[in-house]
Amino acid sequence: MQKGSIRVQTENIFPIIKKFLYSEHDIFIRELVSNAVDANQKLKTLSSIGEAKGELGDLRIDIKIDKEKKTLTISDTGIGMTEEEIDKYLNQVAFSGAEEFLEKYKGQNEANIIGHFGLGFYSSFMVSDKVEVFSKSFKEGSKAVRWECDGSPEFSLEEVEKESRGTDIVLHLNAESEEFLEPSRISTVLEKFCRFLPIPIFFEDKQINNPTPAWTKKPSELTDEDYQNFYKELYPFGEAPLFWIHLNVDYPFNLTGILYFPKIKQSYEIQKDKIQLYSNQVFVTDEVKDIVPEFLMLMHGVIDSPDIPLNVSRSYLQGDPNVRKINSHITKKVADKLEEIFKNDRKQFEEKWESLGLFVKYGMMTDDKFLEKANKFHILEATPAPSNSPEGGGLTEAKFYTLEEYRLATETLQKNKDGKLVILYTTNPVQQDAYIQQAAVKGYIVVKLETIIDNGFLNQMEMKWENVQFVRVDSDIVDNLIDKQEGGDSVLSKDDEGKLKELFAVKNPEINVSVEVKGLSADAPPVVATRPEFMRRMKDMAAMQGGMGAFYANMPDEVTLTVNGNHAIYKTVLAEAEKEKQEKLVHNLADLALLSQGLLKGNSLTSFINRSVELMS
C-alpha cells in the first residue's frame, strides 16, 4: 500500500474547499456526476479513434444510497483510472484531468468533456468525513485501485479487486450532511443539475435524465410538437408558448439553445430568471443577466455554451468578450425572428401582440440596435372607432399600425403646428371611452398604451423617434389635443359664463381645480375634466418609483374643468331659481366629469351618490 500526502501549497486547502469553494453544498452532486459523464465521454472519444479496444458496453451512471452505512455512491462505466493516474489527478489539487485530456486529443469531440477546473472532485469533502475511490482503467491488464482520504492532506492508495471498468466514488457522509441520505433530496438535486446530461443516469433503478434534449438536435430534425413538448418538459405547468427561436452557432463561439416567448396575460405576471444556462448539458445557473440582454430576460428556455467562462464554482459568470458577442447574437436572432413572423404571418403576430409587445417595447427602450430593427415590426393597436366616426360603423376588430403606417393614416389630421406627429393614446379604454369617442368624431386614431411599461416607453420613444409626440386622449378637450386652440364662442353671455365659473369652483382637498368656459360643439359633454399631460406623466412615474417618488405621487392632482357653453343643459341650470338646487346641479355635473377621470373617491364619491338620489327625488 502506498501512503503519502496530497501535493498542495497549503494544508488549509480542505477547510477552504469545505466551507467556501462552492456557494451551495448540494453542488457536489453536480460536480461528481459531471466527472462521471466526462469519464464516459472520454471512453467514447478514444473508441472513435481506435485507442479503446473492445465493446463500449453500457455507458451509464448509477447513484445509490446506503442509509445503514451512511454512504452515497456515484458510479460510472467510463474510462477508469490506473494507480498512476489516480496519484496524478487526485493527489494534485487543481490539476485537471479533463484539461490535459483536451490538450492531448484536441479536435476529437472535445466539446463533450465538461471538466475545466480540477477542483470539482474535492467538493465531495464538503459533505464527507471520508471519501473512497474505486477505479479500474479501460486499458488492458489494468489492476483496480482504491484511494481513500479523510479530508486531511493524508491519503492511502492500494490495489483491490473490481470486476468492471469505471469508477465508484463512495462518500461517507458527515453528520451535518445526512439529508443526502434521503432519496427525495437527491432527486431534487439531480432534477436541478443533471436532468439533461448526455449519459444515462440511474437513481433508484430509474433513469432520471433526458440525454438528448431538443436543443442538442438540429432544427430540421424537430417538429412544432417537439418544441412544444420540450417546453412542457421545462415548465410542466406553463401555458403553451407563443413562438420559439432555436439557437445553433459554431463560429465565432459555440452556442446552442431554444428560447421561448411565453404567453403573458397581465403585466404583473412578468417573471424573470426563467432561462437556464448549461455548459455541455451541465446546468450552471438561471442567473443569465450578463449573457442574455435585459429585455429578453422575460423569455423562457435554455442556452448552452462551453465558451462562456465560469469561475471555480461554475455559478458566476466572468467578464469576457465572448459573453458580449453571445449577448449581441441573441439580440439579433430574436429581432430577425420577430421580423420574419411579422412579414410572413402578420395576423398571427397581431393576435399575440399583447404578450409580444412587452418584449418588443422593453427592448426598444434599452437596446438601440434592437430599436433599429424593431421599428419595422413594432405595432400600435388602435381602439375601435364608434359608429358616429367618419369611418362609419366602427371597427369590427382591432386595427394595428406600424409607426410609418400610423404616420400615413394620420398625416393630415394629427400633425401639430411644429410639424410633429401627435400619437393619441389611451391607458384605459373603458374609463376613457367618452374621450375616445370625441376624438373619433374628429377622425383621430387613438391607440392603446395600457401596460405597466408603457409610461416609460412613450417617454423614451419621444426622444428616440423623430418628430413624434404622445398625447393622452383625456389630457385636454378634443379641440386642443393636436394644437392648442382659442376657445370658440359660446352662446352664453359673459355674465352667464362668469356665473358658471363661480358655480364650478369645486372645493376638493385632493385636487386643484381650474375652470374655463368654451364654446364646444353642442353634442360634446357639458363638462370635460382634463389633467395636463406632463404633470400626469410625472405623477404616474413617481407612483411607480416609490420612495421619494411617492411624495410627488401623493400631491394633489391638477385638473381643468372645461365647461361647454354651447350645451343645452345650461339653459336649465341658469334658469333654476332655487340657489341651493342650482349649486347641486352644477356640483353633480362637475363630479360626473371628475368621475370620468377616476378622481372621485371616498367621501366625495359618497356625497355625489347621495346628492344624485336627492335631485332625482
pLDDT, tens digit, for every residue of 75-87? 999 999 999 998 8
Give the E-state strand segments of 116-217 in sequence order.
128-136, 144-149, 154-160, 166-173, 201-203, 206-207
CATH fold for the domain made of 494-616: Four Helix Bundle (Hemerythrin (Met), subunit A) (1.20.120)
Give the pLDDT band (50/70/90) at residue 241: very high
Which pLDDT score is estimated for 558? 84
Alpha-carbon span 491 to 518, nearest angstrom: 10
- Condensed to tens digits (0 to 9), the pLDDT of residues 219-230 reads 999 999 999 999
Sheet of strand 557-564: strand arrangement: 511-518, 557-564, 527-530
CB neighbour class for 235 (10 Å; exposed up to 12, middle 13-18, buried from 19): middle
Which of 42-51, 121-130, 388-397, 517-526 has the least mean pLDDT? Answer: 388-397
Element (H, E) at 563: strand 557-564
Q: Is the dihedral of CA 76, 77, 82, 85 positive or negative?
A: negative
Residue 8 or residue 238, greater confidence: 238
DSSP state of 21: I
Element (H, E) at 32: helix 27-48
Rounded average pLDDT over 136-144: 93
Average pLDDT, the chain: 84
Q: What is the pTM of this model?
A: 0.75
Cell of 104: 492531448
- Condensed to tens digits (0 to 9), the pLDDT of residues 276-321 reads 989 889 888 887 877 888 888 888 999 998 887 654 444 445 556 7
Written as one string, the DSSP assignment of 401-428 is E-HHHHHHHTTTTSB-TTS-EEEEEES-
Which pLDDT score is estimated for 443? 92
Which pLDDT score is estimated for 331? 92
What is the CATH code for 2-207? 3.30.565.10
DSSP state of 198: S
Which of 134-148, 202-216, 353-367, 472-486 has the least mean pLDDT? Answer: 472-486
- Condensed to tens digits (0 to 9), the pLDDT of residues 378-418 reads 999 999 865 544 454 444 466 999 999 999 999 889 999 88
Where in the chain is CATH 3.30.565.10? 2-207
Number of other CB atoms surrounding residue 345 within 10 Å:
12
Rounded average pLDDT over 327-355: 92
- Condensed to tens digits (0 to 9), the pLDDT of residues 92-117 reads 654 444 455 445 545 544 444 334 43
CA 232 to chain centre: 18
Sheet of strand 468-472: strand arrangement: 399-401, 380-382, 446-448, 421-426, 468-472
Which pLDDT score is estimated for 165? 94
Alpha-carbon span 60 to 411, nearest angstrom: 68
The residues near 100 (Cβ < 8 Å, ≥ 6 apart) are none
Cell of 52: 479503446
Which of 29-38, 143-152, 519-528 has the least mean pLDDT? Answer: 519-528
Where in the chain is CATH 3.40.50? 380-480
Inter-residue contact 14 to 152 (CB < 8 Å) = yes
Q: Does domain 214-332 have CATH number 3.40.605.10?
A: no
Which pLDDT score is estimated for 376? 95
**Residue 245 scores a pLDDT above 90:** yes
Ranges of H-type helices in 345-441: 346-351, 353-366, 368-374, 403-409, 433-441
Inter-residue contact 465 to 373 (CB < 8 Å) = no
Cell of 450: 395600457
Q: Identify which of 250, 261, 246 has the alpha carbon closest to the alpha carbon of residue 215.
A: 246
Q: Does domain 380-480 have CATH number 3.40.1000?
A: no
**Residue 449 scores a pLDDT above 90:** yes
- Condensed to tens digits (0 to 9), the pLDDT of residues 516-550 reads 888 888 788 899 888 887 777 777 776 666 554 55
Residue 544 or residue 502, greater confidence: 502
- Condensed to tens digits (0 to 9), the pLDDT of residues 557-605 reads 788 888 888 888 988 888 888 988 988 898 999 888 888 888 888 888 8
Percent of the chain past pLDDT 90, that is, above it, reads 42
- Condensed to tens digits (0 to 9), the pLDDT of residues 575-587 reads 888 988 988 898 9
Alpha-carbon span 418 to 165, nearest angstrom: 81
Where in the chain is CATH 1.20.120.790? 494-616
